[in-house]
Structure 1
Amino acid sequence: MKLESNAFDADGLIPVQYTCDGVDISPPLTWNEVPRETQSIALIVDDPDAPRGTFVHWVIYDIPATVNELPEQISPVKTLFNGGVHGKNDFGNLGYGGPCPPSGTHRYFFQLYALDKKLGLPVGATKNQVLAAMKGHVLAIAQLMGKYKRS
């Protein structure tokens, strides 16, 4: 599987509009080469460089296997227009919370999982709950990493 964004290059800088210093909207994402057996897609975005350990910025699960993109500025609603379900980020909210590093340049990992089942978790599941439910059901993983440093 391959995960991309037309907003930033892999290993490149995330534009300010997708961060706490801008409008703090989610970037557009597209993916392809999803395994045929895929039943659902999950997305987890986190920052392993956070001072107190990995900080989770976005969790979505149960995206239908027929979907191959998330447009810019996904609303923080419980259930997405495409059927996906928002989990809870480490800001304590549903939806996307953009990069906002306290100091230095941080890396933000967008990880997409193709799963052989729908997770069926309630709205607001955490990253750890999603990872536990996915165990043994991951068919493929794609990753996109972007960086951000506050000016």
Structure 2
Amino acid sequence: MRRFAVSVTAAAVALSVSGCSSLGFIGRSQAQDIAEINVASPELRESKPLPSEYSCKGDQGSPPLRWSSQPLSKAKSIAIVVDSHTKPRSAVHWVLYDIPATTTELGPNAAEDPPEGTGQARVTSGKVGYEPPCEPTGSYRFTVYTLSGKVGLPAGSPLPAVLKKIAEQTIARGRLTAVNIQ
């Protein structure tokens, strides 16, 4: 286990983009030990370009993802947050939550056919589901969180509310980062 400040970077990004950074939970850090999650994909490689099929130039939707970690007895659900840091702005492209804790992978285009019982937040663009990145240069982060509970908000809930619930319940985290669009 590593020592992390439990915070969802995407929450800060989304809230600053949406003008909600005055909410009290931004900037608060409750340091605690959280486990690491290994995140992989048959289509993505760490620090390599995001294949254009998974960008706004393609038609593949969300890429397939796989994850693993040590067994976590407190794990109740999984959440996935896809965000970007590009010039001129940052954005959240996808939030899928309340994934069963026993799930260890999602196939291609899971945003179109998400696992039963899951929810997808309204992202920075206002869309519910996967909003493919478009900026040719930037950092595209696919972060998987293990949570100690369910987010429990209805599908289409506002991004700040969902990200706050994820931040409050994170017990493990891992990330795969693609750089630029191929």
TM-score (norm 1): 0.87
State the partner residue of 2:177: 145
**Cα distance in 1, alignment partners of residues 115 and 64 from structure 2:** 15
Corresponding residue to 2:104 among 68, 77, 80: 68
State the partner residue of 1:46: 83
Q: Which has the higher helix share?
A: 2
Instruction: State whether structure 2 residue 129 is matched by structure 1 residue 92.
Output: no
Mind listing any 5+ residue stretches in structure 1 that lack a counterpart? none
Answer yes or no: is the 8 Å Cα contact 1:76–1:86 preserved in 2: no
**Cα distance in 2, alignment partners of residues 130 and 50 from structure 1:** 25
Partner amino acid for 1:63?
I
**What is the CA-CA distance between 1:135 and the residue it aligns to?**
3.5
Question: 1:126–1:147: structure 2 CA closer, same or farther, 3 Å change rule?
Answer: farther
**What is the CA-CA distance between 1:57 and the residue it aligns to?**
0.5
**What is the CA-CA distance between 1:117 and the residue it aligns to?**
0.5
**What is the CA-CA distance between 1:99 and the residue it aligns to?**
1.5
Partner amino acid for 2:40?
E
Stretches of 4+ aligned residues off by more than 6 angstroms = none
Answer yes or no: is the 8 Å Cα contact 1:99–1:148 preserved in 2: no
**Cα distance in 2, alignment partners of residues 136 and 82 from structure 1:** 23
Q: What is the RMSD of the two structures over their aligned residues, measured on CA atoms?
A: 1.8
Q: How many residues align?
A: 145
